[in-house]
Structure 1
Amino acid sequence: MSVESVRIPELSAVGNAQVPSFRHVYGDSPEQFVEVFGNPAAASATVIFVHGGYFRPRTDLAHARPFARALAESGVLVASVEYRRLGGQPLLLDDVTAGIDSVCAELPRWGVSEQARQNLIVSGHSAGGCLVLAWASHLPAEGPRIRLRPLAPVTDLLREVEAGLGDGAVLDYMGARPEDDRQAYLRHDPRSRAALIPARVDVHSLHGDADATVDVEFSRVFPAALTELAGANHADVIDPDSPFFPQVRNLLLG
């Protein structure tokens, strides 16, 4: 068993004891909600974060609470998006889109300053990185600038299926092989849609070169800026107790 596969449940255990500043509901399902960390009125920036879990139903946002809380302690507002983890596509991407849209619409009502609203960072870890990359590829060309910061993202759904990675997690998520439902992959696959991400979105990924869950090679060949963390594993990039956390925080907020 890898260190990272042990660390994620440990982060979940810590997260289960943590409480967000408040909760925002964006849909009718019990899983369609956002946890908000930080003081909206004092925030210098807004971070919208989408957790990972390799698209598996068993992994909720609890493991991301320590990360969200630690980021918020840097003086930013962090909105951590939960989504329906049953049913695969298209629910996950639809939920992430609805969650991000809802957060952006609510920011003025929460008392977030215009400066902090304009200083928008969208990030996601692992499968969450895949989802925010796919989300960005569906944005219109015109609009505010966004910093997109995927952390150890799943970037190529077709390669994942072909290689049988993640114990078939991507195939379970997509519900069919690429040759059987090409349109679904063309809607969700970051690698296929990379050129559709508008220029107003600044994409910069961060990935550990010791990642045993999502190989760093996926980020190396993805057409976007990349910062590699030498020696970092899959969990390190969202672990506030990791020695790599200052670098992650600086990439997100700097």
Structure 2
Amino acid sequence: MKSIIERNVKRIYYGEDENHFGDLRIPEGDGPFPVAIVIHGGFWRATIDLEHINPFAQALAEKGIATWNIEYRRVGVKGGGWPNTFLDCAKATDYVKTLAESYPLDMESVITIGHSAGGHLALWLAARHKLSSDSELKSGLEPLLLKGAVSLAGVSDLALMHDIHQWKDTMFGIIDNPTRDFMGGSPENLKNRYEQGSPKSLLPIGVPLVLIHGSLDVNVPIGMSEQFEGTAKFAGDTVLFIPIPHAEHFELIVPESAVWPVIWDSFNGLLNN
């Protein structure tokens, strides 16, 4: 197991690619500790990496949660996008089983938590056990059993996110569609991919879900989480949707923000469910 120790953080590689690593933080004490698999956003693009969400991961660790802040191939690096972004995150998640052989981790209390595009991946990781055996996104391992998933301003519906960006293109001439780039095309042309990769298409997920979204979010509209909540509940899932008045997109991952106590309380509630 190759690792780099930096500022009480262990950088550990879960695969062979240069993007196959995560930052592991173990709280002080004997453990075993509940685990948060932290997934950064950035619309699945290589311009943003895991450093973006490290303060958030550190704040959870200071609360007694072991955090595994994962990196993965993104659009803009070799192999990024469909299907490898999904497969990398699945591999990093399943690698927690290996980490538990060396660190005091509570394997009965593993939760994914992600922001923006990372929120999409957090929900998808909880849902991937629903994939058919012939899916391109199916890994050879039995998926790690999760206790729940937390989406912070997450992209819960890939087709809708694609259409929102397409609308911006039509209305304002913004020729930029990160979802199309990530998936390799549109929902109309790649229906099967979107069905495999979108959390909304994999409902019911079967584990408790928490959706937290700021009312002022202009990157991922709050209505996406609101719609997902209704659809997921109708499908039979347990979902807690927490709209945050006057909060914008990035405020949700700033530990010093007024939103942090709400996020911590909901996360802690999921662990103790």
Cα distance in 2 between the residues matched to 1:206 and 1:173: 23
Cα distance in 2 between the residues matched to 1:125 and 1:104: 23
Deviations along 1:214-236, one digit per CA (max 9) or x if unpaired, are 11100000023311111111111
Cα distance in 1 between the residues matched to 2:21 and 2:189: 33
Whether 2:17 is the aligned partner of 1:29: answer yes
Aligned to 1:150: 151
Q: What are the residue-to-residue correspondences of 1:99-248 with 2, within 5 Å? A: 99-112=92-105, 116-139=106-129, 144=145, 146-164=147-165, 167-195=176-204, 197=205, 199=206, 201-222=207-228, 223=232, 224-248=239-263
User: Between the two proteins, what is the percent identity of the paired residues?
Assistant: 30
Aligned to 1:9: none
Across the aligned residues of Structure 1 and Structure 2, the Cα RMSD in angstroms comes to 2.1
Are residues 145 and 54 of structure 1, via their aligned partners in 2, closer, same or farther at CA, if it must alter by over 3 Å?
closer
Deviations along 1:191-236, one digit per CA (max 9) or x if unpaired, are 22222x1x2x111111111111111100000023311111111111
Cα distance in 1 between the residues matched to 2:190 and 2:144: 31
Aligned to 2:71: 82
Are residues 89 and 143 of structure 1, via their aligned partners in 2, closer, same or farther at CA, if it must alter by over 3 Å?
closer
User: How far off is 1:44 after superposition?
Assistant: 3.5
Q: What amino acid maps onto 1:48 in structure 2? A: I
Q: What amino acid maps onto 2:218 in structure 1? A: A
Q: What secondary structure does 2:211 align onto?
A: strand
Q: What secondary structure does 2:221 align onto?
A: coil
Structure 1 unaligned spans of 5+: 1-17
Q: What amino acid maps onto 2:19 in structure 1? A: E
Aligned to 2:3: none
Q: TM (normalized to structure 1)?
A: 0.84
Q: What amino acid maps onto 2:183 in structure 1? A: M
Cα distance in 1 between the residues matched to 2:145 and 2:181: 35
Cα distance in 2 between the residues matched to 1:20 and 1:249: 22
Greater shift in the superposed pair: 76-85 or 117-126: 117-126
Count of aligned pairs: 231
User: How far off is 1:105 after superposition?
Assistant: 3.0
Cα distance in 2 between the residues matched to 1:240 and 1:163: 29
Equivalent pair of 2:126/2:148 in contact (CA under 8 Å): no
- Structure with greater contact order relative to length (CA < 8 Å, sep ≥ 6): 1
Q: TM (normalized to structure 2)?
A: 0.79
Q: What amino acid maps onto 1:225 in structure 2? A: L
Equivalent pair of 1:124/1:130 in contact (CA under 8 Å): yes
Structure 2 unaligned spans of 5+: 1-5, 131-141, 169-175, 233-238
Deviations along 1:105-150, one digit per CA (max 9) or x if unpaired, are 32132133xxx32122211111011112122222269985512111
Equivalent pair of 1:43/1:75 in contact (CA under 8 Å): no
